[in-house]
Structure 1
Amino acid sequence: MTAPEDAIRARRRLTNKLIAAHEAARLRPFFAPDVKLIVGDGGLIVGADAVVDAFSGQFADPAFVTYVRETASVELDAAGQRAAEQGRWRADWKGQPEMSGTYLAVWRKVTGQWVIESELYVTLT
């Protein structure tokens, strides 16, 4: 059986691959239906459909390359049903300086699968 920390890290790597491939619709299963996402500039996106729509819009921009999130740590709650993932992120757009910062993601286990409940991204560069 895969350890929860390893499962979350693997799911994060897969989301990175899907973002690099500009596969917005395939990201949907990674988000809880009521996900809350605070983007790097402080804006709020609520709901998995809205998050996927935001990715679709960015993927339609020919200058967009990818977002990469690199997990630094994963910490589980006592019951093993929620986890906090912390790490660094970067955004690559053609012809623009790289943006980067730190992030925190809250994962919860739903019917045996880890999904993102909320994420906070802080732009630092």
Structure 2
Amino acid sequence: MTATADLAIRMARAAFNRALAEGDLHAIGPLLAMDVVMVTGTDSAVIAGRKAQLMAWKREFAATERMVYTRTPDSIVASPIEPIAMEHGRWQGAVDGMVQASGSYSAKWRAIGGEWVIEAEIYLTLA
């Protein structure tokens, strides 16, 4: 399960990054669990639920100077006893290709109906 989970989660993360770059809310929705929780990096705002997160992304996509976020996984650890995994990596936010913020993150994933979805993410702003 570990190799399969690792590849599937990396592919889902790549799809999420593409959706963020393209401002594609419809592609983001299926990658999020219904009760997903995100804790942002700088102000530790808690965004709870798929609908709330999609609304937050919609606001981000409408910004005049839109920040494009990219997450790069460093490691993914799959549980041998449950359909869950933890992703650790680095993130950055750029405006017009210029990095404005960056840091580290962790994300918890769960396989539901054969698809990996994000249950929780927490971000740390380092620069």
Counterpart Cα distance in 1 of 2:71 and 2:99: 17
Q: Are the counterparts in 2 of residues 103 and 120 from structure 1 also a CA contact under 8 Å?
A: yes
Q: Are the counterparts in 2 of residues 77 and 83 from structure 1 also a CA contact under 8 Å?
A: yes
Q: 1:59 to 1:35 in 2, by over 3 A?
A: same
SS at match of 2:59: helix
Matches within 5 A, 1:1-125: 3-41=4-42, 42-94=44-96, 98-125=100-127
Give the root-mean-square deviation of aligned CA atoms.
1.8
Q: 1:22 to 1:77 in 2, by over 3 A?
A: same
For residue 112 of structure 2, what is the amino acid of its counterpart? Answer: V
Per-residue CA shift, 1:44-97, capped at 9, x if unaligned? 000001001100000001211410000000001122500000000000124975
Question: In percent, how many aligned pairs have the same letter?
Answer: 34
Counterpart Cα distance in 1 of 2:98 and 2:112: 38
TM-score using structure 2 length:
0.92
**Over 6 Å off, 4+ runs:** none
Quote the offset at 1:24 in angstroms.
Answer: 1.8
- Give structure 2 stretches of 5+ with no counterpart: none
For residue 14 of structure 2, what is the amino acid of its counterpart? Answer: R
Q: Are the counterparts in 1 of residues 111 and 117 from structure 2 also a CA contact under 8 Å?
A: yes
Task: Figure out how many residues of one structure are paired with residues of the other and give that number.
Answer: 125
